[in-house]
Structure 1
Amino acid sequence: MALNITAGVLGTEAEIAENKLGLAALVLLGLAHVVGNLLGGCVCIRTKDDLHKASANKQLAVCSLVFSWIILAVGFTMLIIGTLSNSKSRKSCGFSLHRLFSIGVILCFVHGLFTVSYYVSATATAREDRTNGSRSASASA
Structure 2
Amino acid sequence: MARNIGFLVCLLIMALDVAAGILGIEAEVAQNKVKHLKMWVFECRDPSSQAFKLGLAAVILLSLAHIIATLLGGCTCMWIILAIGFSLLIIGTMANSKSRKSCGISHNRVLSIGGILCFVHGLFTVSYYVSATATARDVSRRQDPNATQA
Regarding TM over 0.5, the answer is yes
Identify the residue that residue 56 of structure 1 maps to in structure 2: none
Q: Which residue of 1 aligns with 2:93?
A: 83
Deviations 1:55-88 (A, max 9, x none): xxxxxxxxxx86x621111111100111122335
TM-score by length of 1: 0.72
Partner residue, 1:38: 71
Find the residue that maps to 2:79 and give its secondary structure.
Answer: helix
| Distance in 2 separating the partners of 1:131 and 1:125 | 10
RMSD: 2.0
2:102 and 2:59 map into 1 onto residues whose CA distance is 24
Displacement after TM superposition at 1:5 (Å): 0.4
Percentage of matched positions with identical amino acids: 65
Q: Which structure's residues are more often strand, by fraction?
A: 2
Judge which range, 72-81 or 93-102, deviates more: 93-102
Alignment of 1:13 onto 2:26? yes
Query: Structure 1 or 2: larger helix share?
Result: 1
Amino acid at match of 1:5: V
Does residue 71 (structure 1) correspond to residue 81 (structure 2)? The answer is yes
- Structure 2, unmatched stretches of 5+, are 1-13, 32-50
Task: Output the CA distance in 2 between the equivalents of 1:30 and 1:98.
Answer: 23
Q: Post-superposition, which runs of at least 4 consecutive aligned residues in structure 1 deviate over 6 A?
A: none
User: Which residue does the alignment assign to 1:133?
Assistant: 143
Structure 2-normalised TM-score? 0.68
Is it true that 1:123 corresponds to 2:137 in the alignment? no
Preserved contact between residue 10 and residue 25 of structure 1 (Cα < 8 Å): yes
**What is the CA distance between 1:103 and its match in structure 2?**
1.6
Q: Structure 1: which 5+ residue stretches go unaligned?
A: 43-64
Alpha-carbon distance in structure 2 between the residues aligned to 1:15 and 1:99: 7
Whole-angstrom CA distance in 2 between matches of 1:128 and 1:100: 41
**Residues 96-111 of structure 1 correspond to what in structure 2 (within 5 A)?**
96-111=106-121
State the match for 1:27 in structure 2: 60
Aligned partners of 1:34 and 1:92: how far apart in 2?
Answer: 32
Q: Is the 8 A contact 1:11 1:25 kept in 2?
A: yes
CA distance in 2, matches of 1:33, 1:113: 12
Given that 1:15 and 1:86 are in contact with CA atoms closer than 8 Å, whether structure 2 keeps it comes out as no
